[in-house]
Amino acid sequence: MREQNPTLTSPPSGEMGSTIKILNTQMVVNPDFFGNLLALWAGMSWLASRKHPAWSWLARLSAGALSAAALVLADVGHALAHTVSACYSGAPMDEIQLSSGMPRTIYYDDDISPRAHRMRALGGPVFSAFGLLISLLVRISFPRNSMARYVANWSSIGHGLILAGSLAPLPIVDGGSILKWTLVDRGRTPKQADQIVKQAGIVTGFTATAVGAGLATRQRWLPAVGLLAAGVIAIGAALGKIR
C-alpha cells in the first residue's frame, strides 16, 4: 500500500535524513529507515530458521537478508516507479520520503489535469504487477526447498500485497486517486468524487472486516487477523483518520 501524494505548499526541510536525487526527484532517507532494515533482516532470518531448520546459520542469515531486500525492493520500487510515471505525465514528483512507515510520494503543486493525476498514480501498480509476475516466474523455476524459491516466495507476497493494497479505492493510495480523477474527468466535481471514494473505501473496509470475522469463526487466524486489520485501516483511511 502506498500513501498517495499529499499536496504541500512548501517543501519539507528533510535536514534529518540523507538526500539522493533520482529523475530530478529528491529522495530523503531518514535514519529510522535503516533501523527498520536491520529489524526486518532479523525477523526474516528468524522466519527462515523456522521454515528451514536444516539450513546452516549462514544460509538462514543469507535467506533473511535476501528476503528482506526483496520486500524492500517491492516497497521502495513501487514508490520510485511513481517518479517515472509522474515525469511521463508532465507533472514530476518533488520528493520521496523513506522512514519507518510507508514511503511517501510528495508533490508541491497538485493543480494538474485529471489525466496527469491518473498517470502519476499508475506507475506504482504497474511496477508491482510486473514484480509479481517476475517473482512468480522465478518461483516456479527453482526446486521447492531452494533458497531462490524461498526468496521468490517472499518477493511474490510483497509485490502482491502492495499491488492489492495500492489498488484499493482509498484516498491515501493509488486506487483512490485513479477513481477520483476518473470521476472528475467524466464530469463530477472533485468534492463529489471525494465523497464517492470515501463511500467506496468504507464499503471496502466493512467487506474486509466481515470476511476476516468469517475466517476467524473457522479458526483461520492468520488471514483473519490480516483482513480485520486491513478493514480497520481502510475504514480509518476512508474517514480521514489515517493519512
Cell of 63: 535467506
Q: What is the pLDDT of residues 23-51, one digit of tens each?
A: 788 899 999 999 999 999 999 999 999 99
Give the pLDDT band (50/70/90) at residue 7: very low
pLDDT of 94 over the 60 cut: yes
Q: What is the pLDDT of residues 48-78, one digit of tens each?
A: 999 999 999 999 999 999 999 999 999 999 9
pLDDT of 176 over the 80 cut: yes
Q: Where are the alpha helices (DSSP H) in the chain?
A: 31-51, 57-89, 114-140, 147-166, 174-185, 190-217, 221-238
| Average pLDDT of the chain, as a whole number | 90
What pLDDT is recorded for position 16? 59
What pLDDT is recorded for position 141? 94
Task: Report the alpha-carbon distance of residue 62 to residue 151 in Å, rounded.
Answer: 10
Task: Report the alpha-carbon distance of residue 95 to residue 19 in Å, rounded.
Answer: 10
C-alpha triplet 16, 101, 139: angle, nearest 5°: 125
Give the pLDDT band (50/70/90) at residue 8: very low
Write down the domain spans for the chain: 18-166, 188-243
Contacts of 236 (CB under 8 A, 6+ apart): 205, 242
Q: What is the mean pLDDT of residues 194-203?
A: 96
Contacts of 100 (CB under 8 A, 6+ apart): 30, 32, 33, 35, 36
Distance of CA 231 to the CA centre of its chain: 16
Give the pLDDT band (50/70/90) at residue 17: low
Q: Where are the alpha helices (DSSP H) in 90-189?
A: 114-140, 147-166, 174-185
Fill in the DSSP letter of residue 187: T
Task: Report the alpha-carbon distance of residue 233 to residue 86 in Å, rounded.
Answer: 27
First-last CA distance in the chain: 12
Q: What percent of the chain has pLDDT over 70?
A: 93
Instruction: Judge if pTM exceeds 0.75.
Output: yes
pLDDT of 12 over the 90 cut: no
Mean pLDDT: which of 50-54, 110-114, 132-136 is highest?
Answer: 132-136
What pLDDT is recorded for position 133? 98
pLDDT of 15 over the 90 cut: no
Fill in the DSSP letter of residue 25: E
